[in-house]
Homo-oligomer: A and B are copies of this chain.
Amino acid sequence: MFSRIDHVAIVVADLGVARQWYEEKLGWVSIGDEYVDAVGVQVSYLRPSVTTRDEPVTLLQLVQPVEPGPVLDHLVAHGEGMHHVCFAVDDIDSALDVLGEDDAHVFAGGRKRLACFLGSRPSGVVIELTETEPGGSTVQGKA
C-alpha cells in the first residue's frame, strides 16, 4: 500500500538558487514549478536525468514558503533543510483508514494529486502521503 517514497522535501528560501545546485552539480532535471494553494508554498520537483517523466522514481521536492503557515514557520525557526518524506499510496482514504488517521486533512497537493500530512511523527519525521495518480474525487469531501 505504501509502495515507495514519492519524494523527499527540502525547505528553501529561494527555489531558483536551490534548484540550480541540483541541476548544475547533479544533472537532475526540473519537471516544473507549481503553487500549492492549500499549504501556501511554491514547489519545484526534480528527477534524475536518466529517468523519464512518468517512471516511478523518488523525486526531490524543493519547497519555498510564500504565505504564512507551518512551512514558513519551519524556515524561520530552523533555516533551510530537509522537511518531510512523502510516501506514495494508491488511495489516500484507504491508507488513512489503515493508519487510524481518518481525521487527517486531505488537500490538493503537487502534481494534481491528493495529499495529506499525518498526525503521527515517528522518530520526529514529518510524513506526507500522496496518491500515485493525479485526480481523485474526495478533495472536496475532505477539505
Chain B CB within 8 A of A80 CB: yes
A residues at B contact (CB < 8 Å):
1-5, 8, 10-13, 17-18, 21-22, 25-28, 48, 50-51, 57-58, 60, 62, 79-85, 87, 98-99, 120, 122-125
Copies of this protein in the assembly total 2
Q: Is the interface of A mostly helix, strand, loop or mixed?
A: mixed
Residues of B within 8 A of A48 (CB): 2-4
Residues of B within 8 A of A10 (CB): 123, 125
Contact check: which of B82, B83, B122 meets A22 at CB < 8 Å? B122
Contact check: which of B13, B25, B51, B58 meets A99 at CB < 8 Å? B25
Smallest distance from the beta carbon of A35 to chain B beta carbons, Å? 19
CB-nearest residue of chain B to A81:
B124
